[in-house]
Amino acid sequence: MADVIALFGSLSDKKYIQESKMMDVFERVGVSVDVHVISAHRNADDLQKFCAEHPEPQVYIAGAALATALPGAIAGASGMKSVVIGVPLDEHGIDSCLWMPPGVPVLTAGVGKAGLQNAAIAACQILSIGDSGVAGRLEKYLEETARKPQFNVSLDAD
């Protein structure tokens, strides 16, 4: 049983996952994640069945490209009982993450590779609410990856 399920509409979305550092976040924080490819358009029945058979994740991450309906479809198929974080993978997926009807919450954590990494951090934040172990590992991860301040920066050309 995974803590987070990440769903994408196409195997071609794999490049976003690999380049985003999303999986690194989960590994370093010790959160289990399963990744699946199910198209909201081509596999609507399979998506409904999948969500019915996997009611346990507290968080879904849904990649959205080419105006996919995946984030909203997951929210509906899960009965709005799990948090859904929609990540537009390109400009075409933005509307499908932002324009949800009332009563169908889909959170958005950014666009593209940065959005997937942010979604992973947000999922860990959500899971840390009830798990002090996740909270501690997340805090350590955030400290290790924080950018250090730069004081007295010279604006002269190098």
The CATH number linked to 124 is: 3.40.50.1970
Domain annotation covers residue 158: no
Measured CA to CA, the distance from residue 133 to residue 76 in angstroms comes to: 31
Domain annotation covers residue 125: yes
Predicted local confidence at residue 158, as pLDDT: 67
| Structural domain boundaries enclosing 18 | 4-130
Domain annotation covers residue 149: no
- Containing 23, the helix (H) or strand (E) segment is helix 22-29
pLDDT band at 64 (very low <50, low <70, confident <90, very high): confident
Ramachandran angles phi, psi of 85, nearest 5°: -110, 110
Predicted local confidence at residue 65, as pLDDT: 84
Q: What's the total number of domains in the chain?
A: 1
Look at residue 57 and tell me whether its pLDDT is greater than 90.
no
Assess contact for 106 and 78: CB atoms under 8 A.
no
- Mean pLDDT for the chain? 92
Domain annotation covers residue 94: yes
pTM: 0.90
pLDDT band at 131 (very low <50, low <70, confident <90, very high): very high
DSSP string for 41-108: TTTHHHHHHHHHH----SEEEEEE-TT--HHHHHHHHTTT-SEEEEEESSGGGHHHHH-PPTT---EE
pLDDT, one tens digit per residue, over 8-47 is 999 999 999 999 999 999 999 999 999 999 999 999 999 9
Indicate the length of the chain as a whole number: 158
pLDDT band at 55 (very low <50, low <70, confident <90, very high): confident
Domain annotation covers residue 23: yes
Look at residue 67 and tell me whether its pLDDT is greater than 70.
no
Domain annotation covers residue 39: yes
Domain annotation covers residue 15: yes
